[in-house]
Amino acid sequence: MSLFALQFAKTLDARVIATTSSPGKAARLLGLGADEVIDYRAVPDWPARVRELTGGQGADRVIDVAGLLDQSLKAVAVAGHVACVGFVSDTAPPLDGRTLFASGATVRAVAVGSRAQFLAMNRAIEVNDLRPVIDRMFPFERAHDAYRYYASGEAFGKVVITI
């Protein structure tokens, strides 16, 4: 999801600040068009870095695929928008209501859009020739290896199991 968000944002000429967990992934994000990349392992206070990169304002939009709403709210601009797409674990970290209130942000859970949004997304994909980033492909017989690889967190893009 993060990589498609990057691709969609770039089709709209948005400035993209991406976060990642390693220098290797950072280089690949830059190659896909990210304007800035923050390695959250090297810079644990990545929301402060986002604010620094945006002249103190914060990001207008944050796509949160990890379920780190408290941090996302610290990175978003006043009256900005946080799209919560998913969680990386079964237990979400606590959300401090004061952080939500102070941000003045709109937080929206994103799961499935409308039919009209789906059609518009498909048009955008076609017009801009967007393609998913595929990290590795595994034959069906190695499906367990594919799941283990995906679970390792090393994948950059989709892990595909072929028949």
CATH of the domain at 67: 3.90.180.10
Predicted local distance difference test score (pLDDT) of residue 85: 87
Q: In this model, does residue 163 exceed pLDDT 90?
A: yes
* pLDDT score of 1: 65
Q: What percent of the chain shows pLDDT beyond 90?
A: 72
Distance CA 65, CA 87 (A): 6
Q: How confident is the model at residue 2 (pLDDT cuts 50, 70, 90)?
A: confident
| Average pLDDT across the chain, whole number | 91
Confidence of residue 15 (pLDDT cuts 50, 70, 90): very high
Residue with tokens 């799209």: 83
Range of the domain at 163: 132-163
Same-domain check for residues 18 and 75: yes
Cα distances (Å, whole numbers) of residue 5 to 118, 131, 134, 135: 14, 12, 15, 17
Q: Are residues 35 and 71 in the same domain?
A: yes
Q: Are residues 145 and 94 in the same domain?
A: no
- pLDDT at position 91: 67
Total domain count, the chain: 2
Claim to verify: residue 89 and residue 157 sit in the same structural domain: no
Which tens digits make up the pLDDT trace of 109-129? Answer: 887 778 998 999 899 999 999
Co-location of 113 and 137 in the same domain: no
Of all residues in the chain, what percent carry a pLDDT higher than 70?
96
Contact status, residue 59 vs residue 17, Cβ threshold 8 Å: yes
Contact by Cβ (8 Å): 18, 2: yes
Residue 88 pLDDT class (50, 70, 90 cuts): confident
Asked whether the beta carbons of 65 and 85 are under 8 A apart, the reply is yes
* Mean pLDDT value of segment 2-27: 93
Residues 127, 149, single domain; the answer is: no
Centre a 10 Å sphere on the Cβ of residue 68 and count the other Cβ atoms it contains: 22
Q: What is residue 19's predicted lDDT score, i.e. its pLDDT? A: 95
Examine the domain organization and report whether 110 and 33 are in the same domain: yes
Residue 14 confidence class, pLDDT cut points 50, 70, 90: very high
